[in-house]
Structure 1
């Protein structure tokens, strides 16, 4: 990101003095004539291993950035994930830095964590490019191993609806059965394992396919 170059430039060109340490106190009580009428920053300089008192005219504090209070509401609305601190999480930090686990929803800027302006602009451009690519394509690629419900065996218990992490399952009030939206399904298999009626199966992972794989492994 060029932070090292920025660090050296401000030291050489702008004559900024950096002190690596921990601020213990900021006080207006001077102990020597040079400190009278000024703010005094008491800091532990970890490079020299000593406590220093630095008289200054002004102290500017860097304010920490926190997630929005309604970030959790947005997370539930859009069905995306958050970190323990409340920042929105990307699908993969290297392979999909602006994508989320919900197709068609992208993140950019400080909603993902504290960022500077160049990083925010670059991420916004990447998110816009990803969205435009979906629009230009004209169709949505779905997972090949999505789940499917056998309506004749479905008892309408709605257990699968509450367990689906992608909100891909809804209930058909007319037929009294659960329905899977294949465009939202990611093939995690949670509903397949939880269905008490065995009405849900998963493409590429049907019982007969899994049993055939087990038999093949055991026969080696």
Structure 2
């Protein structure tokens, strides 16, 4: 239960952190990318982290995660600066003006914001409950997936250690497992629990993504 709460809070804060960037990237959408902000934040954070570790700029540890998160924060601050640059005031502060614009949008679209938040929480919680009652990692590719997650958690650099061939890196696409391992490391979650929470998270993000798609199509 506590790990679910940690994951939920992490993804919610990540979505709020990334929304200014989504606001900048999706000006034509009716919801300015709000429904996609969690997924966008996770993907960008993961890509920055993966790139930094792969290039030797950071290590696969909490410090590397925080460094990558700081880079994502810098991108959001830049987006706020760009959004507020055209709003001239006597004490012109573009970042503050950009933040004010996003807050005003959220207030005027409070129903949509609350719907997205409620939908994500319910979808994430429902599938986490399902996996909690059926947590086995057997069948199809599940053993391989949890092996990759655990290998990434134990590897100081990328590519991660191959769990089947000692001394070699994983020769397979593994970015999705990096996202799961990132959240596991950031929230001090074991690999097995992270595997099941990641399945629930994908379900939750898919639910709000589908809702956001319909909202933007109908609101266009």
Calculate the TM-score normalised by the size of structure 1. Answer: 0.25
Calculate the TM-score normalised by the size of structure 2. Answer: 0.25
Greater share of helix: 2
Greater share of strand: 1
User: Between Structure 1 and Structure 2, whose CA radius of gyration is higher?
Assistant: 1
